[in-house]
Amino acid sequence: MAEIKPKIGVEYVDNATIVTFTDEKILEEKDIKALQDSIMSIVEPAKRIKLILDFGNVRFLSSAVLGLLIRLSKRIYEKDGQLKLCNINPNIFEIFKITRLTTTFDIHKDVESAVEDLS
């Protein structure tokens, strides 16, 4: 049986759901689709989810992941939820700056500051 990637960890803290990406690379289309399915299965049943995505382990990601993040963000805001990103590798953060996604996403240094910023 093929290994399903990317793997995620899910943790519930206070009023937040924290999704931690456990893979270093998120590049393959099938992996991104699996990632979308995994995260949407958490978002869809929730009424007003407060989701934090922890990129601490991620060193490489494809541009298709950025599209996924935009779709995810739109869905969360439609449900009156909140989305925070944190622990983004400096090289990946540069991509967010170049594409001006730093103005689209609420990005934090670490999980703790993201949790503190939830309203």
pLDDT in tens, 61-118: 999 999 999 999 999 999 999 999 999 999 999 999 999 999 999 999 999 999 999 9
H or E element in which residue 5 lies = none
Question: What is the DSSP secondary structure assignment for residue 109, as one 8-state letter?
Answer: S
What pLDDT, on the 0 to 100 scale, is given for residue 40? 95
Q: Are 26 and 32 in contact (CB under 8 A)?
A: yes
Structural domains of the chain in order of their starting residue, each with its CATH number:
8-116 (3.30.750.24)
3-state secondary structure of 100: coil
Q: Are 13 and 28 in contact (CB under 8 A)?
A: no
3-state secondary structure of 91: helix
pTM of the complete model:
0.93
Strands 60-61 and 25-26: parallel
What pLDDT, on the 0 to 100 scale, is given for residue 1? 47
Closest by CA position to 86, among listed 103, 106, 71, 69:
106
